[in-house]
Amino acid sequence: MDFTRYIENIVVYINSHLMMDHRNSIAVIASHVNKSCYLYSPHMDNWIKNTNSNSTVNIAKDGRHEELSHINYIIETRVKELVQEMATADIHNHVDQDLRNKGQAKSRILVIKCTPDTSFQYLPIMNCIFTAQKYNVPIDACVIEKDSGFLQQACDITGGIYLKLQSPSGLLQYLLTAFLPNQSMRETLILPPKAKVDYRAACFCHRELIEIGYICSVCLSISCKFVPVCPTCQTHFTLRIAKKKKKA
3-state secondary structure of 223: strand
Question: Considering the entire predicted model, what is its pTM?
Answer: 0.73
> Into how many domains does the chain fold?
2
DSSP state of 39: E
182 and 241: one domain? no
Q: What is the pLDDT of residue 45?
A: 60
32 and 95: one domain? yes
Q: Write down which residue in 151, 186, 221 finishes a domain.
A: 186
DSSP state of 197: P
Tell whether 191 is covered by a domain.
no
Q: Which residue has the higher pLDDT, 228 or 125?
A: 228
48 and 124: one domain? yes
179 and 234: one domain? no
Summarize pLDDT for 10-22 with one digit per residue, the tens: 999 999 998 988 8
In sequence order, which ranges of the chain are alpha helices (DSSP H)? 3-20, 45-53, 66-84, 94-102, 122-134, 149-158, 171-174, 183-186
What's the rounded Cα separation, in Å, for the pair 22 and 41?
16
The answer to whether 203 touches 210, Cβ cutoff 8 Å, is yes
Summarize pLDDT for 192-232 with one digit per residue, the tens: 787 788 777 778 787 777 888 888 888 888 888 888 898 88
Q: What is the pLDDT of residue 244?
A: 66
167 and 218: one domain? no
Most confident of 46-55, 72-81, 127-136, 151-160: 151-160
Residue 105 reports pLDDT greater than 70: no
Q: Radius of gyration of the chain from Cα atoms?
A: 22
Within 10 A of 117 (CB to CB), how many other CB atoms are there?
17
206 and 177: one domain? no
**CATH code of the domain covering residue 91:** 3.40.50.410
180 and 218: one domain? no
Tell whether 40 is covered by a domain.
yes
Helix axes 66-84, 3-20, angle to 10 degrees: 150
Tell whether 194 is covered by a domain.
no
How far is residue 126 CA from its own chain's centroid? 11
132 and 221: one domain? no
Q: What is the pLDDT of residue 180?
A: 93
| Residue ranges making up the domain that contains 212 | 200-248
